[in-house]
A and B are shown apart, each in its own frame.
Chain A
């Protein structure tokens, strides 16, 4: 799985989260909440150890697959367009801090994430899910509705977790019937 595919899954999960929360709070109110959280969101989220890695630290990407960023942005833009989010939500999607950490790094978007036999893929997924939880906590959600809102936001990230782990190639233990 390439880094760009991982980022597309991440944006899809975040896009679904934005859509679900907009449906829950009403789009206008939710956009206000996003704007209230605004800069505080970017400043206070924990740093990404994967996006901030450089040079020899990037052991989670496979150096045996030469790569470049050619077409990667086009793929990303196409995937976001397909989500059909309202303009304001799409704006906030592109601003998602964990995504920005990767896209603004020097990492090659077409590089492959190491597959079976490496724990880095699972750790990358864990980090993305923890970042999503941290993002959610930065929204100023009234305590009376917080459990329902958090629940609505968890399902897209569970889907992300399930689909990305499968694609990264974590070795299956066997079918469950």
Chain B
């Protein structure tokens, strides 16, 4: 079981890849190394990792399918990262490419954060063919959302707002 944010981030990437490839042995190994195998990923156990974080955000992390992100947030907080939310206007079909580009940007020249997840930015999330989405990130101490230069990434039409969900104590 890992207690390193970047290691867990890498494991999530391998898990996604191996899951897509239908490699069950690899998926199981990844879960075991991440500490998300079996009952470790049960909501009551994940909830214990998220003690002290704003209840609204905790609720988002405890939905089915966000086990990796729940654990990532717990490690990010332990390492004094900040959690930010940006509201973006996106080309919906470019999401996968955008995720990859963001992950790449956050890893250079040395890792300084990670993408957590995207969600609809409200009940009317498609406006004129564009997806209004909230993107959540964990950023290393001393870094902020402006460093991401989101507006320069393919698929991003507009950066509407940036808010701090959990500030870094550092």
Interface residues of A (CB under 8 A from B): 122, 126, 151, 154-155, 158-159, 161-162, 165-166, 170-177
Contacts and interface: CB of A to CB of B under 8 A. Distances in A.
B18 A165 contact: yes
Contact of B21 (A151, A158, A159, A165): A165
B25 interface: yes
Interface in B28-74: 29-30, 33, 65
A151 B13 CA distance: 18
Interface string B3-41: 000010011011011111111011001100100000000
A173 B65 CA distance: 17
7 contacts: A158-B30, A162-B18, A166-B17, A170-B22, A173-B22, A174-B20, A176-B16
Contacts of A161: 14, 18, 23, 26, 29
B22 A158 contact: no
Contact of B26 (A151, A162, A177): A162
Shortest 5 CB-CB contacts between residues of A and residues of B: A162-B14, A172-B20, A162-B17, A170-B21, A176-B19
Interface residues of B, number: 20
Contacts of B22: 170, 173
Contacts of B128: none
Given A126-B25, A165-B26, A175-B96, A158 B33 contact: yes
A162 B20 CA distance: 10
What DSSP secondary structure best describes chain A's contact surface?
Answer: helix
A167 to B, nearest CB: 11
A170 B33 contact: no
Contact of A176 (B7, B20, B25): B20
A158 B26 contact: yes
Nearest to B13: A162
A159 B10 contact: yes
Contacts of B33: 151, 154-155, 158
Nearest to A172: B20
Contacts of A170: 21-23
Given A162-B18, A162-B26, A170-B23, 20 more contacts: A122-B23, A151-B33, A154-B29, A154-B33, A158-B11, A158-B30, A158-B33, A161-B18, A161-B26, A162-B13, A165-B21, A166-B21, A170-B22, A172-B21, A173-B19, A173-B20, A173-B21, A175-B16, A176-B16, A177-B65
Nearest to B33: A154
Contacts of B96: 175
A154 B29 CA distance: 9
Contacts of B10: 155, 159
A162 B21 CA distance: 9
**Which residue of B10, B14, B30 has the most chain A CB atoms within 10 A of its CB atom?**
B14
Contact of B23 (A154, A155, A165, A176): A165
A161 B20 CA distance: 13
Contacts of A175: 16, 20, 96
A166 B65 CA distance: 23
